Protein backbone atom coordinates (compact mmCIF):
# COMPACT_ATOMS: atom_id res chain seq x y z
CA UNK A 1 0.00 0.00 0.00
CA UNK A 2 1.31 3.44 -0.92
CA UNK A 3 1.11 6.59 1.16
CA UNK A 4 -0.70 9.76 0.11
CA UNK A 5 2.65 11.43 -0.57
CA UNK A 6 3.87 8.54 -2.76
CA UNK A 7 0.67 8.46 -4.83
CA UNK A 8 0.71 12.25 -5.34
CA UNK A 9 4.36 12.10 -6.44
CA UNK A 10 3.61 9.27 -8.88
CA UNK A 11 0.64 11.11 -10.43
CA UNK A 12 2.58 14.38 -10.68
CA UNK A 13 5.54 12.63 -12.35
CA UNK A 14 3.48 10.56 -14.81
CA UNK A 15 0.76 13.10 -15.60
CA UNK A 16 2.85 16.28 -15.48
CA UNK A 17 0.45 18.07 -13.14
CA UNK A 18 0.81 19.63 -9.71
CA UNK A 19 -1.37 17.85 -7.18
CA UNK A 20 -0.71 19.05 -3.66
CA UNK A 21 -1.48 17.58 -0.28
CA UNK A 22 -3.92 20.41 0.44
CA UNK A 23 -5.91 19.93 -2.80
CA UNK A 24 -6.00 16.15 -2.42
CA UNK A 25 -7.88 14.03 0.11
CA UNK A 26 -6.78 10.46 0.81
CA UNK A 27 -8.51 7.44 2.33
CA UNK A 28 -7.80 3.77 2.86
CA UNK A 29 -10.72 1.34 3.06
CA UNK A 30 -12.30 1.57 6.50
CA UNK A 31 -11.68 -1.51 8.66
CA UNK A 32 -15.24 -1.76 10.02
CA UNK A 33 -17.17 -0.92 6.84
CA UNK A 34 -16.10 -1.42 3.21
CA UNK A 35 -15.97 2.29 2.34
CA UNK A 36 -13.52 5.11 1.76
CA UNK A 37 -14.47 7.77 4.31
CA UNK A 38 -13.84 11.49 3.87
CA UNK A 39 -14.66 14.75 5.67
CA UNK A 40 -13.80 17.55 3.25
CA UNK A 41 -14.36 21.18 4.13
CA UNK A 42 -17.13 22.72 2.04
CA UNK A 43 -14.82 25.65 1.19
CA UNK A 44 -12.40 23.27 -0.62
CA UNK A 45 -15.04 22.69 -3.29
CA UNK A 46 -14.63 26.28 -4.50
CA UNK A 47 -11.74 24.79 -6.49
CA UNK A 48 -11.01 21.43 -8.04
CA UNK A 49 -10.91 18.58 -5.48
CA UNK A 50 -8.90 15.38 -5.87
CA UNK A 51 -9.62 12.14 -4.01
CA UNK A 52 -7.25 9.20 -3.67
CA UNK A 53 -9.10 5.96 -2.90
CA UNK A 54 -6.39 3.58 -1.71
CA UNK A 55 -6.35 -0.24 -1.58
CA UNK A 56 -3.62 -2.84 -1.03
CA UNK A 57 -2.89 -3.12 -4.77
CA UNK A 58 -3.92 0.19 -6.32
CA UNK A 59 -5.41 3.63 -5.82
CA UNK A 60 -8.15 5.36 -7.77
CA UNK A 61 -7.58 9.02 -8.57
CA UNK A 62 -10.90 10.89 -8.63
CA UNK A 63 -11.01 14.48 -9.90
CA UNK A 64 -14.03 16.61 -9.00
CA UNK A 65 -14.03 19.78 -11.10
CA UNK A 66 -15.14 23.11 -9.69
CA UNK A 67 -18.95 23.24 -9.92
CA UNK A 68 -19.35 19.49 -10.60
CA UNK A 69 -22.68 19.65 -8.75
CA UNK A 70 -25.12 22.52 -8.50
CA UNK A 71 -25.48 22.39 -4.73
CA UNK A 72 -23.32 20.57 -2.19
CA UNK A 73 -26.21 20.48 0.30
CA UNK A 74 -28.55 18.84 -2.23
CA UNK A 75 -26.07 16.13 -3.19
CA UNK A 76 -24.15 15.31 -0.01
CA UNK A 77 -24.45 15.00 3.76
CA UNK A 78 -22.90 18.10 5.34
CA UNK A 79 -21.50 17.87 8.87
CA UNK A 80 -22.69 21.12 10.38
CA UNK A 81 -20.20 20.93 13.29
CA UNK A 82 -17.25 20.89 10.85
CA UNK A 83 -18.87 22.52 7.79
CA UNK A 84 -17.57 19.52 5.88
CA UNK A 85 -18.90 17.18 3.21
CA UNK A 86 -19.19 13.76 4.90
CA UNK A 87 -18.62 10.99 2.35
CA UNK A 88 -18.62 7.23 2.54
CA UNK A 89 -17.74 5.94 -0.92
CA UNK A 90 -18.49 2.24 -1.35
CA UNK A 91 -15.43 0.06 -1.91
CA UNK A 92 -17.64 -3.04 -2.26
CA UNK A 93 -17.61 -4.09 -5.92
CA UNK A 94 -20.89 -5.97 -5.34
CA UNK A 95 -22.80 -3.11 -3.69
CA UNK A 96 -23.03 0.45 -5.03
CA UNK A 97 -19.33 0.55 -5.92
CA UNK A 98 -17.98 4.14 -6.03
CA UNK A 99 -21.29 5.58 -4.83
CA UNK A 100 -21.79 7.67 -1.70
CA UNK A 101 -23.48 5.34 0.78
CA UNK A 102 -23.41 7.74 3.73
CA UNK A 103 -26.66 7.84 5.66
CA UNK A 104 -28.31 11.09 4.62
CA UNK A 105 -26.42 11.19 1.33
CA UNK A 106 -28.00 10.84 -2.11
CA UNK A 107 -26.00 7.92 -3.52
CA UNK A 108 -23.88 10.19 -5.71
CA UNK A 109 -21.90 8.12 -8.23
CA UNK A 110 -18.20 9.01 -8.45
CA UNK A 111 -17.37 6.48 -11.20
CA UNK A 112 -17.55 9.09 -13.96
CA UNK A 113 -14.90 11.18 -12.19
CA UNK A 114 -12.20 8.48 -11.98
CA UNK A 115 -9.18 9.78 -13.90
CA UNK A 116 -6.79 6.92 -13.41
CA UNK A 117 -6.12 3.69 -11.59
CA UNK A 118 -2.62 3.74 -10.10
CA UNK A 119 -1.46 0.12 -9.82
CA UNK A 120 1.38 -0.80 -7.44
Span 35-71, pLDDT tens digits: 999 999 999 999 999 999 999 999 999 999 999 999 9
What pLDDT sits at residue 120? 87
pTM assigned to the model: 0.94
* pLDDT of 10 above 90: yes
Span 77-104, pLDDT tens digits: 999 999 999 999 999 999 999 999 998 7
Under the banding of pLDDT at 50, 70 and 90, the label for residue 105 is confident
Which residues touch 99 (CB under 8 Å, ≥6 apart)? 89, 90, 107, 108, 109, 110, 111
Question: What are the beta bridge partners of residue 85?
Answer: 40, 78
DSSP H or E segment with residue 28 = strand 24-28
Amino acid sequence: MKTKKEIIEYINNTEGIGLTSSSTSYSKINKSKEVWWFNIGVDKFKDEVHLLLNTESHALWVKLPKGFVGSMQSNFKIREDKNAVDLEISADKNFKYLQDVKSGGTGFDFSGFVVKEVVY
